[in-house]
Amino acid sequence: MLMKSASQSLTEQLAERFAQRIRDRLLAPGARLPSVRECARQQGVSPSTVVAAYDQLLARGLVLSRKNRGFFVREAAAPGRTAEPGQALSAPTAPVARPMDATALIRGMFHRVSDKPQPGMGVFPPDWLESSFMAAAVRRVSSGRALPEFSLQYGEPLGDASLRRALSHKLAGMGIAAAPEHIITSVGATHALDIVSRTLLRPGDPVLVEEPGWAVEFARLAALGMRLLPVPRGPDGPDLGVMARLCEAHRPRLFVSVSVLHNPTGVCLSPSSAHRLLQLAQAHDFHIVEDDTYTHLAPEHATRLCALDGLQRTIYVSGFAKILAPNWRVGFLAAPPRLVEPLLDTKLLGTLTTPALLERALALCIEQGQLRRHAERIRSRLDAARARSVKLALQAGCSFAAEPAGLFGWVDTGVDTEALAQRLLDEGYLLAPGALFHAQRQPSTLMRINFATTQDAAFWKCFCVARDGLMG
């Protein structure tokens, strides 16, 4: 709460609190500030104090006022637009996810708002990932003459050969036939997605994306000048009726899909939807990039497009940030043979090569079964955490918009989760409101929760107080 101080008035404290959140991207461009009355009640100050604080933010150019609508964080112009299903792309549309919106989420996720477990985080807590085998693997591969060998020359353009062999064997166990020479390593899965889009697309190309989906991917494609075609994601996969209409109207070049443990809903693609989706890709001549970021948490025998398609129209992307070490930034893609050389050219233009030492250490962890055993421990711990988190969410009066699975839950709160996020920020909790997962910004009562970080009853108690305050 704000405190009376001889050095700083309540107005100055409140203005600086909002200014800091804007600088840290905890209030994203375009976000609406609480109404004067709501902010006064929330912060325990008079309405005149709020008006004066908002006036200071206006004077500093951090917010703008819209008559009869309220105060909004200033935003930059959008580099791209989205199209409604079946709508001509020349027609006006709602604001699109922009790079600044996505980096707002990233910076917010990395910004330490408190020492409390953060319900909106996209990764496991650090203590879940702690292990001794990773450090041992790095020491082993860097011993003797190995370190100068790795450090004093560029690595292999495709990536470390031992890691690509290990990945080829791992993919074969999932039914995906990818030879080591058809695998390219990257600086994380996001970099692999960037390699694909920069190789296959040109500015102005239409791209199918799932909605809800990952804001970073929306913004990354928009920043490259692509036209986003959102396809609603349901319990079995994308809405194929909507997709077919978009294909007829816009001739997309690419579809980006998280088919297994979709972010944020947690649902997996059904076999029947997968077959029909591949038929659409064949009929309308577009590629599919399958982002399998959550593969290590996935159910056994989960349906994967790349396995059904045999890497003909599909490109497989994955990484190890979620399960192993977020800061190692090791990812990869597996591609049809005809695309390997152009994809490699794009990688070389962007990063030359990738860090061979960490790739070799990761190969060792895979070959010795340490990664597999580590993933099994994480899955077991996550199952227990999910059960506790779901119980607490239901007790708090929430419902799940999709069957809980994997790391994330897609929760309906019954209130605007952007407003809820601002209230809970004052309590030290960072949320991932539903609006972040739409290519077109729109109010949402949904939020994504991390099952590993929402087992604490204290969070749900604060959640209930904040939600009830919004409901009046």
Q: In this predicted model, what pLDDT tens digit does every residue of 202-212 receive, in sequence order?
A: 999 999 999 99
The whole model's pTM is what? 0.86
Q: Is it the case that residue 90 has pLDDT exceeding 50? A: no
Overall CATH class of domain 133-368: alpha beta
- 241 burial level (CB within 10 Å; 0-12, 13-18, 19+): exposed
Sheet of 408-412: strands edge to edge?
A: 399-400, 408-412, 446-450, 432-433
Tens digits of residue pLDDT in 321-361: 999 888 889 999 999 999 999 999 999 999 988 988 899 99
| List of long-range contacts for 172-180, beta carbons under 8 Å, 24+ apart | 174/295, 174/304, 174/307, 175/304, 175/307, 176/304, 176/306, 176/307, 176/311, 176/316, 176/334, 177/310, 177/311, 178/311, 178/316, 178/334
Q: Is it the case that residue 465 has pLDDT exceeding 80? A: yes
Q: Which residue has the tokens 């129209």?
A: 313
Tens digits of residue pLDDT in 292-308: 999 999 998 899 999 99
431 vs 102: CA distance, rounded Å: 14
321 vs 301: CA distance, rounded Å: 22
Overall CATH class of domain 116-126+373-471: alpha beta
**Topology adopted by domain 10-73:** Arc Repressor Mutant, subunit A (1.10.10)
Q: Is it the case that residue 14 has pLDDT exceeding 80? A: yes
Q: Is it the case that residue 92 has pLDDT exceeding 50? A: no
The secondary structure element, H or E, covering residue 375 is: helix 370-395
Asked if the peptide bond before residue 443 counts as cis, ω within 30 degrees of 0, the response is no
Which CA distances in Å does 459 have to 170, 265, 402? 39, 21, 21
Which CA distances in Å does 366 have to 125, 134, 167, 310, 373? 22, 11, 8, 23, 10
Q: What pLDDT score was predicted for residue 109?
A: 57
Q: Is it the case that residue 88 has pLDDT exceeding 50? A: no
**pLDDT, mean of residues 181-197:** 97
Q: Is it the case that residue 191 has pLDDT exceeding 60? A: yes
pLDDT category at 238 given cuts 50, 70, 90 is very high
Q: Is it the case that residue 167 has pLDDT exceeding 90? A: yes
In the chain, where are the structural domains located? Answer: 10-73, 116-126+373-471, 133-368
Q: Is it the case that residue 118 has pLDDT exceeding 70? A: yes
- The residue among 297, 450, 321, 451 whose CA lies nearest residue 377 is 297
295 vs 189: CA distance, rounded Å: 12
Q: What pLDDT score was predicted for residue 110?
A: 61
Q: Is it the case that residue 81 has pLDDT exceeding 80? A: no
Q: Is it the case that residue 437 has pLDDT exceeding 90? A: yes
195 phi/psi in degrees, rounded to 5: -60, -45
262 vs 258: CA distance, rounded Å: 5
401 vs 411: CA distance, rounded Å: 6
Q: Is it the case that residue 166 has pLDDT exceeding 70? A: yes
Q: What pLDDT score was predicted for residue 198?
A: 97
Q: What pLDDT score was predicted for residue 143?
A: 83
pLDDT category at 32 given cuts 50, 70, 90 is confident
pLDDT category at 84 given cuts 50, 70, 90 is very low
370 vs 326: CA distance, rounded Å: 17
